[in-house]
Amino acid sequence: KYAELANAGVHEQPVYQPGKPIEYVAQEFGLDPALIAKLASNENPFGPSPKAMAAAQRALQTAHLYPDGNCCALRAAIAQARGIDEEALIIGNGSNEIIELLGHAFLRPGVEVVMGDQAFIVYKLIAKLFGATAVEVPMQDFGHDLQAMRAAVNERTRLVFVASPNNPTGVANSEADLIALAESLPEHVILCLDEAYAEYLDRAPDLRAQVAAGCKVFCMRTFSKIYGLGGLRVGYGYGAPELIQLLQRVRQPFNVNAIAQAAACAALTDTAFVEQCRSENERGRAQLVAGLEALGFATLGGQANFVLTNVGDGGAFFQALQQSGVIVRPLAPYGMAAYVRITIGTEAENVRLLEAAGVYAASNG
Ligand code: PMP
């Protein structure tokens, strides 16, 4: 009889369902784990950078010590790499934690959070967790409709979330449009720009001038994608020092572990690895879009490390491919039941995906 003890909101909260680990799928379907292509979580198919792995290994030697609770070295490294002040940075246990910290600091019943209706699902989960109202604005051609989002802002709005590029659609907004939105928002609203996939863009938007000018804009990035450190959980937020100090108050004292901090510092210096991953991703995107279109599946290549494909019935496609060891992400939780999101893999993984999709097309076409 625990249910009666829980807060009312807990019962309304859905359980977040991430993709299953490779070993689990291998066992369930009697497959060799080495042959499974996990293209479901937008991870880097080329693994962590060698520099990051070496740094993580070294950090293990002092694993008996608590980590630096202020992430000084990592904040300094990011500050230097991006030309921003250390005081303008907060590090989180993945950028998902940063999103939650925004909730701790700004959300409660009665306030509203504006987001796209096909935007990254964690915004809605966090809004609900804090009893705030999620205002879902219809997206346009799979991209955030910034004008409609601006129009949805009222005196109860506190946060506006824009993911650019967005997950699961892959579409990015232009720098000019993001700046225009940041500059047009009233004083009581923070634009939360989620840049988890920014490193895959030809040129990421630069909102440093807006932050300096006092616009309420907060940018989030992660080491889980192009830096290949999803398993270590590290991301960061960038904004006005006054905002950062508020977020520092609501985090756990040791929210980011020592291995993650060390690996992230090293990953930042491995620019050759990042460059290679970016160009391989471009090549893989072209490979997947051409291959899927040839099979008759309309596919949006987007600007991140995944593609969005209309397969008619995303759930059936997911089930069928999983049995042959290719894992994709069905998008019913996003209200996009016809679609799957497919992470761009290595060339060989992409070939396997296309072969499995071909078998599916032949028997369901
Ligand atoms: N934002 C977006 C748009 C994402 O796609 C993801 C990862 N799926 C995250 C944030 C969270 O990433 P992490 O917590 O691993 O940093």
pLDDT profile of the chain (365 residues), mean per 10: 87 79 88 92 96 98 98 98 97 98 97 98 94 97 98 98 98 98 97 98 96 96 98 98 98 98 98 97 98 98 98 97 94 95 98 97 87
Alpha carbon dihedral 298, 204, 211, 115, in 10-degree steps, equals 10
Which of 95, 164, 229, 344 should be mutated for ligand 1, with most atoms under 8 A from CB? 95
At residue 86, the 3 state secondary structure works out as helix
- 222 C-alpha to ligand 1 centroid (Å): 7
DSSP structural state of residue 143: B
How far is Cα 11 from Cα 96, in angstroms, rounded to an integer? 21
Q: Which domains does the chain have, with CATH numbers?
A: 3-35+272-364 (3.90.1150.10), 50-269 (3.40.640.10)
- Say yes or no: CB of residue 309 within 6 Å of ligand 1: no
User: Is ipTM over 0.90?
Assistant: yes
Q: What is the predicted pLDDT for the residue at 365?
A: 63
HEC string for 22-69: HHHHHHHHCCCHHHCEECCCCCCCCCCCHHHHHHHHHHHHHCCCCCCC
- 361 C-alpha to ligand 1 centroid (Å): 31
Q: Tell me which residue has its CA closest to atom 2 in ligand 1.
A: 196
First to last CA, the chain: 50
- Say yes or no: CB of residue 312 within 6 Å of ligand 1: no
Q: Tell me which residue has its CA closest to atom 3 in ligand 1.
A: 167
Q: Tell me which residue has its CA closest to atom 6 in ligand 1.
A: 196
pTM (two decimals)? 0.96
At residue 14, the 3 state secondary structure works out as coil
Q: Which of 236, 331, 324 has its CA nearest to residue 19? A: 331
Q: What is the predicted pLDDT for the residue at 19?
A: 75
Which of 120, 169, 221 should be mutated for ligand 1, with most atoms under 8 A from CB? 120
How far is Cα 227 from Cα 197, in angstroms, rounded to an integer? 10
Q: Which of 22, 125, 26, 66 has its CA nearest to residue 333? A: 125
Q: Which two tokens stand for residue 110?
A: 């009665």
DSSP string over 88-102:
GEEEESSHHHHHHHH
Q: Would you say how long the chain is, in residues?
A: 365
How far is Cα 225 from Cα 198, in angstroms, rounded to an integer? 10
How far is Cα 88 from Cα 247, in angstroms, rounded to an integer? 11
- Say yes or no: CB of residue 343 within 6 Å of ligand 1: no
At residue 103, the 3 state secondary structure works out as helix
- Say yes or no: CB of residue 96 within 6 Å of ligand 1: yes
